[in-house]
Chain A
Amino acid sequence: MSTSDTEASDTAAPDQSVAARRPSAWRAVLGTPGTLTAAGVIVVIVLIALLAPIVWPNADTINAGARLESPSGAHWFGTDELGRDLLARMAHATQLTLLIALGAMALSVVLGVVWGMVAAAFGSWVEEILMRTADAIMAVPMILFALVFVAALGSNPIVLIVILGIIKSPLVARVTRSSTMVELTSDYVRGLTVVGLGRSRILFREVLPNVFPVIAAVATLNIASAIMVEASLSFIGLGVQPPLASLGTLLKIGYSHLPGSWWYALFPALAITVIIAAFNVIGKRLERYLDRRSA
């Protein structure tokens, strides 16, 4: 008897289930009006940020004759205290805001993934130390934490990225650790151990891709949160310093011109709100989708 005659019945497998499942992950996350709008907003904002130097090359040109003009056909969002077009300045500020937030998110993911995976893989006292450290960092209010470091290290965008990245990494570490622990007890990890694959290769090549969707959800929420902390720091004068400007910096300066020049504070504030909301909507949706799938 040859072994191939056993092929028979179970080779005509159900294929449709998969074909339907792959794209539906996208559809499930972006399939509601809210998340679709949020995704649209993010695309538009990223485009504005990317195209800012091309569309508004003269954002820094001072025009003494046009100081603090209210919104008009020539200046949609009005002008600032030096006569610069506020829309152009906001486009450039959005670029810096997103750069800092994305940088912080990337750093938080790299740190947090290694942190969480090492904790999950080693267990015992290593895990205790790592996770209690994460708890300790998360227990300190973010703004306070950032304040201390900005006061010590000064504030330029790089320092902000590093600080925000460190602040947000314990959250990634926690999520990574718990998901990794679940994966490590699964059958396929047993199988790979029996095959003789080393622990670190199992962790980073086999388990990490499976944990990644959950990390992506946290990362998205981290972008929103990083934008908020950066804007708060900039608003109290400890974040991005002029002549550089993030949306938070613009809000701070606009706030001081609030009597009489309502647009100067309003538009940056609106922009910050909309961007944070957009990332939050996507992140929360992603989180809920993954929760339901694993339940």
Chain B
Amino acid sequence: MSEALVEITGLTKDFGQTRAVDNASFAIRRGETFGLVGESGSGKSTIASMLLCLTKPTAGEIFFHGKRIDQLSTRELAPYRKDMQLVMQDPISSLNRRKKVQDIIGLPLALHHGLPGGKRTDRIVQLLELVGLSADYLSRYPHELSGGQCQRVSIARSLSINPEFLVLDESVSAVDVLIQAQILNLLNNLQDEFGLTYLFVSHDLAVVRYMCDRIAVMQAGRILEVSDRDDIFSPRAHEYTRALIAASPASLAAKASTTPPLQMEKSP
């Protein structure tokens, strides 16, 4: 793999007395999907938020393309904004409910590329088709769409300005399993097509295993280990990682089908 696109070193964030992220360090290589897993409240979304410069770190450094970005002002940050985008968890609330699809996707285009009306519409239709929607959706409102469709619109908006780096913060956690699979495939295809780099934040180990090349495991604000996928899902992994995997619904189901129910109660 090639050099690091995004790198954090010693990243720490305090919310009042609580240390949400404690001395976290990792590097995301260009073109890979980097997974960030952990329980709720382990600090993974806080890291995502700091990476996008939405939250100021208490300590530590963030590098993008080798340049430090965590201390830039809003104005200095502007050129970086179009290189890193975000797809959030709740597909419906992540879109402004009073804006039509064409305005939602068109906004970053107008902002960063200054495309005039006609050309902008062409590009919006092109983006819609890219994410598996069509021109029929141009003048729909978010509440006229399903969760999966909203998530596609979100992805289209993120891609509109050709970012290199996409933060997927629990992006498929709120849609049902069938649509989850479709969106994940879409994301994989888009990555191949545009050479995107993903930070994939999730608590769902099955999804992370499917998507990610390398994975960081977090617990209570600390990064326990960063390894290749195959090492994470192997007996060589950190004790906590193995506990996390054992506790996931998929492993429980597997266990339930091979062991009698009575023994289930004894197992931890």
Residues of B within 8 A of A (CB): 52, 54, 74, 78, 81-82, 84-86, 88-90, 93-99, 107-108, 111-112, 129-134, 141, 143-149, 152, 154, 157, 161, 178-179, 182-183, 185-186, 189-190, 193
Contacts and interface: CB of A to CB of B under 8 A. Distances in A.
B143 A7 contact: no
Contacts of B129: 4
A3 B154 contact: no
Given A1-B185, A197-B107, A191 B132 contact: no
A14 B107 CA distance: 26
A3 B107 contact: no
Interface in A43-74: none
Contact of B86 (A10, A194, A198, A210): A194
A190 interface: yes
Nearest to B137: A11
Interface stretch (A15-23, A156-164, A264-272): A15-23
A204 interface: no
A47 to B, nearest CB: 32
A11 B133 contact: yes
Contacts of A206: 96, 99
B149 A196 contact: no
B98 to A, nearest CB: 5
B123 to A, nearest CB: 15
A199 B84 CA distance: 18
Nearest to B175: A10
A194 B149 contact: no
Contact of B82 (A7, A196, A210): A196
Interface residues of A, number: 33
A126 interface: no
Contacts of B149: 10-11, 13
Interface of A: 1-11, 13-15, 17-18, 21, 186-188, 190-199, 206, 209-210
A10 B95 contact: no
Given A13-B145, A210-B96, A6 B82 contact: no
25 contacts: A1-B189, A2-B189, A3-B132, A3-B189, A4-B129, A6-B183, A6-B185, A10-B147, A13-B145, A13-B149, A14-B146, A15-B144, A18-B143, A18-B144, A187-B89, A187-B93, A188-B94, A194-B52, A194-B54, A194-B86, A195-B81, A195-B108, A199-B74, A210-B97, A210-B98
A7 B157 contact: no
B107 A4 contact: no
Contacts of B148: 9-10
Contacts of B98: 209-210
A9 B96 CA distance: 24
Nearest to A193: B54
